[in-house]
A and B are shown apart, each in its own frame.
Chain A
Amino acid sequence: MSIQVNAIRSLFPILHQEVNGYPLIYFDNAATTQKPQVVLDALTQYYEKDNSNIHRGAHTLADRATHKYEETRESVRALIGARESAEVIFTRGTTESINLVAKTFGSKFIQKGDEILISTLEHHSNIVPWQMLCEQTGAILKVIPITDAGELVMEEFEKLLSSKTKLISIVHASNALGTINPAKKIIDAAHAVGAKVLLDGAQSASHLEVDVQELDCDFFVFSAHKLYGPTGLGVLYGKRELLEAMPPFLGGGEMIREVTFEKTTYNTIPFKFEAGTPSIAEVIAFKPALDFITSTGKTNIHLHENDLLQYAAELLQDVKGIIPVGTAAEKIAVYSFTIKGMHPFDVGQLLDAKGIAVRTGHHCTQPLMHRLGLEGTVRASFAIYNTRAEVEVFAQALAKIASLKNK
């Protein structure tokens, strides 16, 4: 089945506008995706009809809100193939999910001299929490190097791996380059030495089929807003036995079983990690986004986006001055590049003048940019509602911009 992109576009009200006198071309999907009308409706409907605090109230509205909130948890479970919905914890985003693991798994299982492995491809949110943990515990952070194409050097990974390795926290698909890492291989190798694996799915969850049981990852984290859902909401999947062994993250309401001034006992998972009133509206409105992804089909999404990526690469390959950055064999639909003699900011500004939204800069991956010897790149990232016609306009605009400095 191929997708009907015009029918899909009609579901996203924001796409139908002009920016600077031109039809909006939104190619900043790796930063955040746009939201279909059903998500916007669910947000409004929650506040119009169902608003109440969940899990506690003994009234109809609270029941309704609780029921819908838990329905989303079940949809997330189904999306990632988790064993049970209790293994799905709602957080504020990928960043908070990683910090939660660093604080709680870290305080319980990481000690002085232990090693934590990350890679050169990581986003700052998958670097800094581990640096903080290493500072607190005396653990050591080690980094898997990459090739010039932006792929992990697997032989080096195997050399870094040892019985000292306690955790590997690695990106599933790179936000800056699009590289898809061989997650299963990494996880199997990690488990062979007794290490746990956190897979950062911020970029993969919306584009790739993910089955956490098949992958056998110990943690999987992502953000709702990159899956056509609301902002301010993230997911932490963790294996039950780990989540149960980990201490709570934040203390407060909801996460307790019984509180006395002498001693507090904690709630079961997932509630142990959901202190305070969560983002109820956002969680509820995330379900229609997940339904949209499921009904469109991950395979269709990946095929469509990949077609756009190939098309962009094809149209731009002979444009003088354009240098693609990140040429891994396996990629999600991220086209990162620089233009000879031009700063990425200027390129972004010129594209914006034509109504084309891209991301420019270091993409919160400064160590990666340093490794590649770049200050930053221009990044176009595609989603299900983008079209070949948009890619053509983009390529034409770029050819004109590149010709400024590359006659």
Chain B
Amino acid sequence: MSTIADIQNEIVAEFEILGEDRESTIFYIMELGGNLEPYPESFRKDEYTIQGCQSKVWLVAEEEGGKVIYKADSNTDITKGLISLLIRVLNQRSPKEILEADLDFIPRIGMGNILGSQRSNGLASMMNQMKRYALAFQTKQNA
């Protein structure tokens, strides 16, 4: 099975095809957002929103057979696209893999520049929250 690093390399290669045009990159990200699995409505509550995001983001995770499964949603399409990439990288991994992951694909696909500081902070909060879920599951596994 491919590693987190492999998937990140795959994503970087996909974005390289788009070239440096910002508009195409954003259009592609928005399109990816459309592929996100429907978010379970019972988790669309304030306690599942991520603080520090300008757009609304809901994130929830569960553990199945030692692997973490994330579900997330946002009210903006660009954010949804970014979430779909994060989920593609981190879904179905063990908490240990997630906690050790070096998530570097965002700057590598040129999104760091496009996002600006506000959205980048939001993205960082999102990654932190995903790792926090992994940590919680790991703690439970080790207990």
Chain A residues within 8 Å of B, Cβ to Cβ: 20-21, 342-343, 345-346, 349-350, 352-354, 361, 375, 404
- The answer to whether A404 touches B27 (Cβ under 8 A) is yes
With A345-B78, A346-B76 already in contact, the answer to whether A353 and B55 are too (CB < 8 A) is: no
Segment 55-85 of B: residues with Cβ below 8 Å from A: 55, 75-78
- The answer to whether A346 touches B22 (Cβ under 8 A) is no
CB A349 to nearest CB in B, in angstroms, measures 6
- The answer to whether B26 touches A350 (Cβ under 8 A) is yes
- The answer to whether B78 touches A346 (Cβ under 8 A) is yes
CB A360 to nearest CB in B, in angstroms, measures 10
Q: How far, in whole Å, are A219 and B114 apart by their CA atoms in the complex?
A: 43
- The answer to whether A350 touches B23 (Cβ under 8 A) is yes
- The answer to whether A343 touches B23 (Cβ under 8 A) is no
B22, B23, B27, B77: the one contacting A342 at CB < 8 Å is: B77
Residues on A with C-beta less than 8 A from B99 are none
The size of the chain B interface, using a CB distance under 8 A, is 15
Judged by a CB distance under 8 angstroms, whether B36 is at the interface is no
26 A-B residue pairs with CB within 8 Å:
A21-B21, A21-B22, A342-B77, A343-B55, A343-B75, A343-B76, A345-B76, A345-B78, A345-B119, A346-B26, A346-B30, A346-B76, A346-B77, A346-B78, A349-B114, A350-B23, A350-B26, A350-B27, A352-B22, A353-B25, A353-B114, A354-B23, A361-B54, A375-B75, A404-B27, A404-B30
Segment 21-55 of B: residues with Cβ below 8 Å from A: 21-23, 25-27, 30, 54-55
CB B81 to nearest CB in A, in angstroms, measures 10
Chain B residues within 8 Å of A, Cβ to Cβ: 21-23, 25-27, 30, 54-55, 75-78, 114, 119
- The answer to whether A353 touches B75 (Cβ under 8 A) is no
When C-beta atoms are compared, the residue in chain A nearest to B20 turns out to be A21
- The answer to whether B114 touches A345 (Cβ under 8 A) is no
CB B7 to nearest CB in A, in angstroms, measures 25
- The answer to whether B23 touches A353 (Cβ under 8 A) is yes
With A343-B55, A345-B55 already in contact, the answer to whether A353 and B76 are too (CB < 8 A) is: no
Residues on B with C-beta less than 8 A from A20 are 22
Q: How far, in whole Å, are A20 and B113 apart by their CA atoms in the complex?
A: 10
CB A366 to nearest CB in B, in angstroms, measures 14
Residues on B with C-beta less than 8 A from A361 are 54
With A349-B114, A353-B114 already in contact, the answer to whether A343 and B26 are too (CB < 8 A) is: no
Q: How far, in whole Å, are A353 and B55 apart by their CA atoms in the complex?
A: 19
Q: How far, in whole Å, are A349 and B76 apart by their CA atoms in the complex?
A: 11
Q: How far, in whole Å, are A353 and B18 apart by their CA atoms in the complex?
A: 14
Q: How far, in whole Å, are A20 and B26 apart by their CA atoms in the complex?
A: 13
A343-B55, A353-B23 known; 16 new pairs, CB 8 Å cut-off, are: A21-B21, A21-B22, A342-B77, A343-B75, A343-B77, A345-B55, A345-B78, A346-B26, A349-B26, A349-B114, A350-B23, A350-B26, A353-B25, A353-B26, A354-B23, A361-B54
Q: How far, in whole Å, are A342 and B80 apart by their CA atoms in the complex?
A: 12
When C-beta atoms are compared, the residue in chain B nearest to A20 turns out to be B22
Residues on B with C-beta less than 8 A from A353 are 21-23, 25-26, 114
CB B109 to nearest CB in A, in angstroms, measures 15
Residues on B with C-beta less than 8 A from A352 are 22
Residues on A with C-beta less than 8 A from B55 are 343, 345
Q: How far, in whole Å, are A320 and B25 apart by their CA atoms in the complex?
A: 23
Residues on A with C-beta less than 8 A from B30 are 346, 404
Residues on B with C-beta less than 8 A from A342 are 77
Q: How far, in whole Å, are A343 and B75 apart by their CA atoms in the complex?
A: 7
Q: How far, in whole Å, are A345 and B22 apart by their CA atoms in the complex?
A: 15
Residues on A with C-beta less than 8 A from B26 are 346, 349-350, 353
When C-beta atoms are compared, the residue in chain B nearest to A355 turns out to be B22
Q: How far, in whole Å, are A64 and B104 apart by their CA atoms in the complex?
A: 56
When C-beta atoms are compared, the residue in chain B nearest to A350 turns out to be B26
Q: How far, in whole Å, are A342 and B26 apart by their CA atoms in the complex?
A: 13
CB B53 to nearest CB in A, in angstroms, measures 10
Q: How far, in whole Å, are A373 and B26 apart by their CA atoms in the complex?
A: 27
Residues on B with C-beta less than 8 A from A354 are 23
Q: How far, in whole Å, are A21 and B55 apart by their CA atoms in the complex?
A: 27
When C-beta atoms are compared, the residue in chain B nearest to A353 turns out to be B22
CB A191 to nearest CB in B, in angstroms, measures 43
CB A72 to nearest CB in B, in angstroms, measures 34
CB B29 to nearest CB in A, in angstroms, measures 10
Residues on A with C-beta less than 8 A from B77 are 342-343, 346
